Structure 1
Amino acid sequence: MSTVTPLLELRDLDVAYGGIRAVRGLNLTVNRGELVCLIGANGAGKSTTLRAICGLVPRAGGDILYDGRSIAGVPSYLLVREGLVMVPEGRGIFGQLTIEENLAMGAYSRRDIEQIRRDTEHVLEIFPRLRERLKQSAGTLSGGEQQMLAMGRAMISRPRLLLLDEPSMGLAPIMVDKIFEVIETISNEGVTILLIEQNAKLALEASNRGYVMESGRMILDGPSQQLLDDPKVRAAYLGEEEAA
């Protein structure tokens, strides 16, 4: 009987800042083609987890497996070449560069010029607002437009696994809806996604499975609908009162 190897697997992951363990004994899997969300209160360790996966902060213990092999200690730029790409919290765009130049940065490790051109065209079809402003400095864009740009740049990197860190943070409701439409579009095109999101309801509605973090530990996981129906999740993250 064949077994499915997860595209991403965290095994007892520990991450520490100084003497503080921000992530403790974390276990998580993301299978190929899934959209998985990770929710929790501010300070739960969600962003730290993503940064550890990308090699931006060192692990203190445990292991990180990507496509079946350990990537602990592998430099971030090499992970990007292997299709592990993150859109960071705060977007991380290059404000002094144009939109066109920012998008080109997504292809810095690629050499397939014609496919880069097609991928860029595809991104501009998804984000027509960027096409209208290609020569505009990225720093002059609104928050929502900058998020579009950050996601477009990541897509041009040809991700196999896309990590999204708080994509709706600070955005107007109409822009949040647009960003989540795009996330679902990317997922439907076959890109595997691990999503961290402050809007737990939207994240769970968009995803296949979810994990709940609290104080650096995983406290719940399961199918997204199951978590949406869980009274404790509804009380803690969806603003509803838990029944007595």
Structure 2
Amino acid sequence: MSTEPLMLDIRGLDVAYGGIRAVRGLDLRVGKGELVCLIGANGAGKSTTLRAITGLVPAAAGQIEHQGESIIGLPSHQLVRRGVVMVPEGRGIFPQLTIEENLAMGAYTRKDHHEVRQDIERIYTLFPRLAERKKQSAGTLSGGEQQMVAMGRAMISRPSLLLLDEPSMGLAPIMVERIFELIQTIAKEGVTILLIEQNARLALELGDRGYVMESGQIILEGPAAQLLHDPKVRAAYLGEEDFAA
């Protein structure tokens, strides 16, 4: 059995907004090279979990470790230097900047300018649609194209752990398919991914392992293929009934 530290190890995480515990006693682990998905209904606490990992909201209790070291309280730029990079819900691009300028923002912690240029060209190979429009203002792009910019910008940071928060939200079905193909490509290149996604079917079809979250707690976990065929998950995905508590 490998003694290599987990890429992400969360133990007993609590996050509170005011008097409400949005995340309660959460345990979640992601090994190097894994694609792990965290699924659940709106308001389950998925995005709050990501915000706690990245320090956007404070942890009230528990531990968050990246490759064996605590990252609680680290500022964003130090997390990025460590390789912990998030593509936020809503994409968070800079609408007035061009596509190329947005991608370059992903390199703000890097000094290897020649390699940054090579990485940007590689992103254009992955996302040909962006190459065609690289001098266009990002705010004029479709939702799917903006998601490509956000993912490309994250990849320029050379993440060891990529956190994706609802990448399919608000996208047309054909663009959702394209985005998930790109996520699969990134995973195959060895980037460890924690995917937060409401589209349970797509997430579990893509993932190695999965966690199901309800009311701030993990209620199921296991191999993604197993969860995909779990009656409770299938019922919840189809909207027939709530997850069992």
1:197 aligns with 2:220: no
1:155 aligns with 2:155: yes
Q: Please show how residues 147-186 of structure 1 align to structure 2 within 5 Å.
A: 147-186=147-186
Shift of 1:4: 3.6
Q: Which amino acid is the alignment partner of residue 38 of structure 1? A: L
Q: Which amino acid is the alignment partner of residue 55 of structure 2? A: G
Query: When the two structures are aligned, how many residues end up with a matched partner?
Result: 242
Q: Is the 8 A contact 1:200 1:238 kept in 2?
A: no
Shift of 1:241: 7.4
Equivalent-residue separation in structure 2 for 1:133 and 1:83 (angstroms): 28
Q: Is the 8 A contact 1:204 1:210 kept in 2?
A: yes
Shift of 1:202: 0.1
Q: Is the 8 A contact 1:234 1:241 kept in 2?
A: no
Which residue matches 2:228? 228
Shift of 1:19: 1.0
Deviations 1:99-148 (A, max 9, x none): 11000000010011121111111100010110111111111111000000
Q: Is the 8 A contact 1:84 1:161 kept in 2?
A: yes
1:211 aligns with 2:211: yes
Q: Which amino acid is the alignment partner of residue 19 of structure 2? A: G
Equivalent-residue separation in structure 2 for 1:123 and 1:159 (angstroms): 14
Which residue matches 2:25? 25
Match of 1:97, SS? coil
Note the residue ranges of structure 2 that are not aligned, 5 or more in a row. none
Match of 2:233, SS? helix
Q: Which amino acid is the alignment partner of residue 138 of structure 1? A: A
Q: Is the 8 A contact 1:166 1:195 kept in 2?
A: yes
User: For the aligned residues, what is the CA RMSD?
Assistant: 1.2
Identical-pair percentage: 75
Which residue matches 1:7? 7
Equivalent-residue separation in structure 2 for 1:229 and 1:3 (angstroms): 32
Q: Which amino acid is the alignment partner of residue 66 of structure 1? A: H
Q: Is the 8 A contact 1:41 1:214 kept in 2?
A: yes
TM normalised by structure 1 equals: 0.97
Which residue matches 2:90? 90
Equivalent-residue separation in structure 2 for 1:36 and 1:201 (angstroms): 13
Shift of 1:2: 4.5
Which residue matches 1:146? 146
Match of 1:151, SS? helix
Which residue matches 1:237? 237
Shift of 1:238: 3.7
Match of 1:56, SS? coil
Match of 1:36, SS? strand
Shift of 1:239: 4.1
Q: Please show how residues 6-85 of structure 1 align to structure 2 within 5 Å.
A: 6-85=6-85
Equivalent-residue separation in structure 2 for 1:156 and 1:69 (angstroms): 23
Q: Which moved more, 1:233-242 or 1:167-176?
A: 233-242
Equivalent-residue separation in structure 2 for 1:203 and 1:124 (angstroms): 25
Equivalent-residue separation in structure 2 for 1:46 and 1:22 (angstroms): 9
